[in-house]
Structure 1
């Protein structure tokens, strides 16, 4: 099966000058294999709605295996699969747990079939570009095309002559909730809602997503269906599609598990029917208003063209010159993935669900959701602060609104629900890093109050379980808390948050808080075991956990003391105190040898966050910086490519993509809250980052590279604004004043 992405033509602006079309360098199929968990569907930057092909329910040719739960599918689409059962309209990109992937439309022809295992179809001729996806269903000879606005999706199905159907399945999806309600309003309209939630199988997180679907022509016939329990299979009515019972002409409200509707048509050869769906997390009325405001007419081509234009307006914030087409494609596709989440949550009228509540709030700006902060605090949010500070500002204000509404900052927030997935207090470094970089249009006093509450509250602390022992012993002992995941990992996360809070306290003149939190940020040293050279779990009496294998826990295998990693992958995860870690392990030479050993012995995991900064840590040792330059370029070549498997693992809502973008630029934020970037060799000849002058004094940041031959990756010299620059770290302030950074590279 051939899969490709559309190469779109250059745009001609009214000035008659040719402007670069950056969408031509986005391949939405990157990350759809190798558990990257992205999808190639149509979506806008931060879009609430998205329309994705759904091919993970059944795998034809392999015993018709139902896959979603058996393979822990957290994505709607896997490149190797080829059996489509519909197009979902609410989706997540790059997450590790299943949810959403719901409100599925599916066109069919011939005899009406309601069982997705039977009505699903293989497909060919896939195309995808920002805001557009298309394929051809081989079973039905139907061309399918989809696009989206911020809160709506639109589909265009081109049918052959004969009996044709469009099915709306509310039972199938990634969410573990199957409940829904619907009503056929007319021959051209359906309304209802679908329950979603239980992210990572958390039973407390359930919320409805409302929808209104409108068709471009009236149905000749319509009806509803529901999937009946297996034990009724011998009942008289089972002649109707096994256990899928149809209700022909049904126009009352229907509610229950695994329900859906069908609209049937007698189509002419080549007749196109469009379906547009508005969504809302507030009400059916708001879903209808979203649809009417964003897509008042049926105009698929216009919607797709607008989507492309919106993507171009953000992608062109960074202009690259030089490099191969494949390098440009992996760069701009990573930038595309960075801009998918967090996404907006409010309707066109400003309504949104309050955090941890059934109440409704109203906002004048953008309210964001989907904060996978354990992942994104490390690099994605610092990247947004540099390149898209106006977006980051709205996200920060959304986080503070969540605090006002629920009493706590978010940890892993999804659709106004706190999932409590992962560990640590990741909101704190996001807030502090943003403020220190220059985003200051939020209430810093309220932010400080919220962060300090998480840092000192000992009773009922929803963000920092185990803080009692952490505060008194300086570490979290093994076995002290029944439901605490990874004592060492959790302590290290609290350390980085405390260090960030200390930096902000110093900035605000709160000197006592600065001293307290800065000292507590170094408590990781209580885990340092001189014998093994590792950070090792220990017990309440101070004894070490025994037995202890530093390599146990690789490849996401559970291990005592650590979260999604092992002692090797957390060995150097103290980004705020690498110089202190160098002393602990025995000096610079020993540190370099052990860090190199981490890579040489296969202990480094490119696909997960705990060791994501390690390639840049050689910059801390004078004379060894070349190792970072070689290692980063090696990792780019090994793990990133213009292929479906071109992301090394779960993109984690853009975190692995942010690593790539920064690395190709030649700068990396090695520690949130630290305003310096580690320098490595850039990939492109010239990069221009257009700065937002509302936040930064400079108009642009230019990064240029000179080299003698294509393979040169070692930094020979660096110049800043024409003057020699010494060192392999550079301050954020030096880059936002309209600066030019020049790298001269040589061979190794």
Structure 2
């Protein structure tokens, strides 16, 4: 059995607490020598198969930049742009999502090639089509903060590393009078579609520009400055305005930088990003990566990851288990991502530039996925980040009128169900984190759960959401109940007795769905009748009473009132009998699950 040290879980928790007593502390000198080499246990390939959707490439914890390869294949299993089954690369883009169920980003793709290629994605059956190259997995190397691969078609070795806001490329070319680096502002990942883009040659070693796009996040903007270690001999711009099927005009931009190269000649490229401006991108580069020491940047990225991973000392003699554990911990720190410049300038949800903010602004709040475990973990091992995280969420509330649901690139996507941002902010208030206005935090909590949108008005009218009023009714009600309980607990702590009673009552809305005969949570209509027919195994994705689950899963979604749930079963014994059966029953969820 795997365990946390010799004295069990309590010992592991004490290690976490001790690690957090010095938040953001230096890793120089004797302290850095005490850190264990834990990046050796991270396997970034875990989650790249099946439906894992994880990012593969070079980044640092919570960085704006996620620099990595993009396959030419598209589809649900390529939400991050990469899948282990694919052996194609069409470019190395600077922003990726990880572990999400929808694809987006893929901004600012750079692709080194030799010779003239078609500026398009390409087709897998034609190895000479498009920009892409095949690669052999044996040449691919990936570890925290570093990625390397050999592009077979062009005989180019690629190495990547990164700081928070700067991607650092190293290309080793063959001898050629027609070596090129393509900057692709057209192609993104998943739902992402470019709306406008620009590349400007500033001199023979510097280009800059921007990319605007629409996708899961409806209005995305990113600016960049790229500096090359070798002067280009030519700069070619291919920029066209094209009309979509919907009659919208979009600007498609590619840039090609041409070089003469000797055999094994190395060209380095630094690409700094900013959500605000080209000038701020230049400032970010000057601050984070002023020089050209590629190996030092790799070392610094590894040290940044190692520092964060050392916050938990997981002791086991089984290296396979340790590899799984530290890879999972690594994945919790790909996002949320800093979404501001080194001077704290950021682009807000109100579509305004905010200068010299008093906090570090974040994005990529995949809250339905993270509020149950990842964010509570952050309060334990990253307490130094919590003030900025909560300040960001409260600022989002000021700018859009509610706390974030699933926030990306200064856009509210409203993806998934419930009010998970409410739970995260309430958790921080109840754990007494400092540095933000708790009175405003309570108003933000209350405002967010009292809106009429996304079925919430039915909660107040019926005490639950009827399935004839709103899709995914059971899932929404049970998620809202957790958020309402969170608000109730904050109200109680702040002495707001009336609010406590009101939200506590709302938090018991889950009870309306319990069928005492079948002992499942079932959808009810506005007249209080259960949905018929009923199959506890069946699920139609986003089209029935549940969200990515069935009655077998949702019956247990009452973490805030376990005793109340047990009471519905009539006895603890009946509850345990049903719970035990969850692990042995089998059934078909249906073709539309």
Match of residue 459 from structure 2: 470
Match of residue 335 from structure 2: 341
Residue 218 in structure 1 maps to residue 213 in structure 2: no
2 CA distance for matches of 1:111 and 1:402? 46
Alpha carbons of structure 1 residues 566 and 288: separation in structure 2 relative to 1, 3 Å: same
What displacement does 1:299 show? 2.1
Match of residue 51 from structure 2: 35
Residue 525 in structure 1 maps to residue 511 in structure 2: yes
Alpha carbons of structure 1 residues 165 and 436: separation in structure 2 relative to 1, 3 Å: same
2 CA distance for matches of 1:363 and 1:228? 36
Match of residue 125 from structure 2: none
Alpha carbons of structure 1 residues 523 and 19: separation in structure 2 relative to 1, 3 Å: closer
Q: Of residues 96, 108, 119 in structure 1, which corresponds to 2:113?
A: 108
Deviation readout 1:87-133 (Å, 9 max, x if unpaired): 00111111111110121111112345434422311123111111110
Residue 148 in structure 1 maps to residue 162 in structure 2: yes
Match of residue 578 from structure 1: 562
Alpha carbons of structure 1 residues 602 and 383: separation in structure 2 relative to 1, 3 Å: farther
What displacement does 1:343 show? 0.9
Match of residue 98 from structure 1: 103
DSSP 3-state at the match of 2:55: coil
Residue 120 in structure 1 maps to residue 136 in structure 2: no
Q: Of residues 152, 161, 170 in structure 1, which corresponds to 2:185?
A: 170
TM-score if structure 1 supplies the norm length?
0.70
CA RMSD after TM alignment: 2.4
What displacement does 1:198 show? 2.1
CA contact (8 A) 2:242 2:252 kept: no
Match of residue 84 from structure 2: 79
Deviation readout 1:433-492 (Å, 9 max, x if unpaired): 2222342332111111111122334xxx45xx3233211321111222xxx441111111
CA contact (8 A) 1:112 1:165 kept: no
Question: 1:439-450 counterparts in 2 under 5 A?
Answer: 439-450=433-444
Q: Of residues 427, 434, 446 in structure 2, which corresponds to 1:452?
A: 446
Report how many residues are paired: 547
Question: 1:181-580 counterparts in 2 under 5 A?
Answer: 181-199=198-216, 205-226=218-239, 256-457=250-451, 461-462=452-453, 465-480=454-469, 484-553=470-539, 557-580=541-564
What displacement does 1:13 show? 6.1
Deviation readout 1:256-302 (Å, 9 max, x if unpaired): 53321111111111110001111111112112221222221222112
2 CA distance for matches of 1:33 and 1:162? 37
Alpha carbons of structure 1 residues 86 and 393: separation in structure 2 relative to 1, 3 Å: same
Alpha carbons of structure 1 residues 374 and 116: separation in structure 2 relative to 1, 3 Å: closer
1 CA distance for matches of 2:588 and 2:118? 50
Alpha carbons of structure 1 residues 354 and 229: separation in structure 2 relative to 1, 3 Å: closer
Match of residue 26 from structure 1: 42
CA contact (8 A) 2:241 2:250 kept: no
Alpha carbons of structure 1 residues 598 and 356: separation in structure 2 relative to 1, 3 Å: farther
2 CA distance for matches of 1:128 and 1:106? 18
2 CA distance for matches of 1:33 and 1:371? 23
1 CA distance for matches of 2:351 and 2:100? 24
Match of residue 15 from structure 2: none
2 CA distance for matches of 1:138 and 1:486? 48
Q: Of residues 160, 163, 171 in structure 2, which corresponds to 1:157?
A: 171
2 CA distance for matches of 1:496 and 1:284? 43
Alpha carbons of structure 1 residues 559 and 566: separation in structure 2 relative to 1, 3 Å: farther
Match of residue 735 from structure 1: none
Deviation readout 1:383-414 (Å, 9 max, x if unpaired): 01011111122211111111222221111111
2 CA distance for matches of 1:95 and 1:157? 30
Match of residue 690 from structure 1: none
What displacement does 1:159 show? 1.0
CA contact (8 A) 1:86 1:105 kept: yes
Alpha carbons of structure 1 residues 536 and 361: separation in structure 2 relative to 1, 3 Å: farther
Match of residue 574 from structure 2: 590
Alpha carbons of structure 1 residues 506 and 402: separation in structure 2 relative to 1, 3 Å: same
Match of residue 126 from structure 2: none
Alpha carbons of structure 1 residues 531 and 387: separation in structure 2 relative to 1, 3 Å: same
Alpha carbons of structure 1 residues 165 and 360: separation in structure 2 relative to 1, 3 Å: same
Alpha carbons of structure 1 residues 558 and 508: separation in structure 2 relative to 1, 3 Å: closer
- What are the ranges of 5 or more consecutive residues in structure 2 without an aligned counterpart? 1-26, 123-128
1 CA distance for matches of 2:330 and 2:320? 15
1 CA distance for matches of 2:319 and 2:28? 21
DSSP 3-state at the match of 1:356: coil
1 CA distance for matches of 2:35 and 2:542? 51
CA contact (8 A) 1:356 1:418 kept: no
2 CA distance for matches of 1:425 and 1:112? 48
DSSP 3-state at the match of 1:383: helix
1 CA distance for matches of 2:141 and 2:275? 30
DSSP 3-state at the match of 2:314: strand
1 CA distance for matches of 2:402 and 2:30? 50
Question: 1:655-666 counterparts in 2 under 5 A?
Answer: none
What displacement does 1:16 show? 11
CA contact (8 A) 1:423 1:485 kept: no
